[in-house]
Structure 1
Amino acid sequence: MNVIIFLAIGAVAGWLAGTLMKGGGFGLIGNIVVGVIGAVLGGFLFGLLGISAGGLIGSIVTATVGAAVLLFVVKIIKK
């Protein structure tokens, strides 16, 4: 059951990050991939900053921030 929740958070975070970064959605699988990688990146960044976000909303925020950073870096590298 935790895997399903993790993938759902990844999908929501990927979609939110795509919307925030003006890239739109990436489809269900793309959103999950961006969100999951973003969750790892966001957890790392929040850890460096000493920020702790708990609960479902905190997990979505952390994953969304990480996914937005990921999309920003990819956009810079593409140029």
Structure 2
Amino acid sequence: MSILAWIVLGLIAGFIGSKIVNNSGQGLIVDILLGIVGAVVGGFLFNQFGQPGVSGVNLYSLLVAVVGAVIVLWLYHALVGRRRVL
């Protein structure tokens, strides 16, 4: 899959994932980066369970990317939330 397709899929997955995990995003760049990482994580996890991962820009790949983005965003919030000391 091309870099542009990963970015588009990551953008959409990051936006949807941030709305699932919390109501406010972390910012456009962070959402895109975490969405792209989430797409990779989702593809890896689905491959480990014998399912096809991200195969192109389609609805199934978006679902896989969103699942990965939710996992990555949840971990991100868990780690960043613990660092804040006020």
TM-score by length of 1: 0.81
Larger CA Rg, structure 1 vs 2: 2
Give the TM-score normalised by structure 2: 0.76
Give the whole-Å Cα distance in 2 for the aligned partners of 1:40 and 1:68: 12
Higher helix share: 1
Aligned partners of 2:37, 2:8: CA distance in 1, in Å? 13
- Alpha-carbon distance in 2 for matches of 1:59, 1:35: 12
Per the alignment, residue 73 of structure 1 pairs with 75
**Map of 1:6 onto structure 2:** 6
Moved more, 39-48 or 10-19: 39-48
State, as a whole percentage, how many aligned pairs show the same letter: 32
Distance 1:5 1:44 in 2: 17
Alpha-carbon contact 1:15-1:24 (below 8 Å) kept: no
Unpaired runs of at least 5, structure 2: none
Q: Please name the residue that 1:61 is paired with.
A: 63
CA positional deviation for 1:4? 1.9
Alpha-carbon RMSD: 1.8
Judged with a 3 Å threshold, the aligned counterparts in structure 2 of structure 1 residues 19 and 29 are, in CA distance, closer, same or farther, namely: same
Aligned length: 78
Report what 1:39 is aligned to: 39
